[in-house]
Amino acid sequence: MNNNWKEAFHFSQRERRGIFVFVAIIGILLCLPPLFEEYFQSSKVDFSSFKSAIKKYEADQSLSSNTINPSLSSPYPFNPNIAPLEDLLTSGIPEPIAQRIINYRKAGGFFYRKEDLKNIYGLEDSVYQQVQEYIRIPSKKKLTKKKYAIKKVATPQLIKPFRFDPNKVSFQELSSMNLPSKVVNQIINYRSKGGSFQKKEDLKKIYALSTQDYQQLAPFIVLRKPPLVTPTSYLVPTAQALPKNTQIDINEATMEEWQQLNGIGPYYAKIIVNFREKLGGFATREQVGTTYGFPDSIFQKINAHLVLSPLTNSLRINTISIEELKAHPYIKKHQAIAIVNYRKNHGTFDSIEKFKKVKVFSGKDLARIAPYLSFE
């Protein structure tokens, strides 16, 4: 084993010479850097003057952007929400900060309180403290009113008159003339309280009706003379038995005529006439008995004296509006909206079969409303 070690570390003369040369070269390389250090030593750059210049520039910028303009003797009152750039500068706001205020407003920003000005980037507290007493912002209540109040401008309506009797015309027909709602309501209320129009000029009693609108309506007013009616008591219904041949036209009878019937006084006559006006007339005699607040016992007593004339008022279903539709007692708001939307999407109605496609009426409701529909 010793012989193996000797053989492993045995070098020939040539190998020993190569090792010696290799070691010598390494030694020389290790000694070279100290000898040439003075030739390769880099000179140090002095940055002190450059750093001083930067500090001086930053100090100047800070002074110019965060101090009140020294040329001003005192700041000037201003509203940061409306003041232009010149006024902000005059008020003592530094130019960079004033420009940021303008940009903030252009982006939709708004100052509701003095303290909101602190949100402007770069505005130091010391500057804010010097100008805060000169900030003028109206109260929030005044701002809201000024910002959102919309001045209502009355626009004249173009009425569309047709021949009518003001003593008989229905609520729906008056509305279809494009008359103001106040005028329509006052005409109906005037009649429901027992008033009647004896001549064309009586329509001027409706104070909401302008002179211009009356002049447009006058040529279309047609007055039919009402039948002579024996006045009855307005305090209590008559208790006398009526002759068997006494008949009342439920679509033409006035309040006075209704009071000729046993059991009907001013109150019941009024609610029956009001209900008839809202319907546009009675399609059946039984509808009189459905008047809200009218006792069925009285209806059964007078039923034999009721006569039905044809309906003269109808709902022009292809032109009527949502407001006019929902004013009818048999049509609810969601049904009125559905009718108009279907008409817009699928065209006008030409028959009851097409009207059924709206699918918002039950069979019972459709039967009630069908007599009032006009597909012209």
- 3-state secondary structure string across the chain: CHHHHHHHCCCCHHHHHHHHHHHHHHHHHHHHHHHHHHHHCCCCCCCHHHHHHHHHHHHHHHHHHCCCCCCCCCCCCECCCCCCHHHHHHCCCCHHHHHHHHHHHHCCCCCCCHHHHHHCCCCCHHHHHHHHHHECCCCHHHHHHHHHCCCCCCCCCCCCCCCECCCCCCHHHHHHCCCCHHHHHHHHHHHHCCCCCCCHHHHHHCCCCCHHHHHHHHHHECCCCCCCCCCCCCCCCCCCCCCCCCCEECCCCCHHHHCCCCCCCHHHHHHHHHHHHHHCCCCCCHHHHCCCCCCHHHHHHHHHHEECCCCCCCEECCCCCHHHHHCCCCCCHHHHHHHHHHHHHHCCCCCHHHHHHHCCCCHHHHHHHHHHEECC
Question: Do 58-146 and 248-307 have matching folds?
Answer: yes
Tens digit of each residue's pLDDT, the chain (376 residues):
555 656 666 667 787 888 888 888 888 888 776 666 655 555 566 667 777 777 776 666 555 444 444 444 456 678 888 888 887 787 778 888 888 888 888 888 888 888 888 888 888 787 888 888 888 888 755 545 444 444 444 455 678 888 888 888 888 888 888 888 888 888 888 887 778 888 888 888 888 888 888 888 888 888 875 544 444 433 444 444 555 567 889 988 899 999 988 889 899 999 999 999 888 889 898 989 999 888 988 999 898 899 988 887 788 889 989 998 888 988 989 989 999 999 999 889 998 888 988 888 888 888 888 898 888 8
Pick the CATH number of 248-307 from 1.20.120.400, 1.10.150.320, 3.30.750.210, 2.70.98.60: 1.10.150.320
Domain positions in the chain: 58-146, 155-226, 248-307, 315-374
Structure tokens at 163: 């021949």
Tokens representing 268 are 């019941």
Look at the domain 58-146 and name its fold. Answer: DNA polymerase; domain 1 (1.10.150)
Q: In CATH, what is the architecture of 155-226?
A: Orthogonal Bundle (1.10)
Specify the residue for token string 């009285």.
298
Angle at 252 between CA 314 and CA 352, to 5 degrees: 20
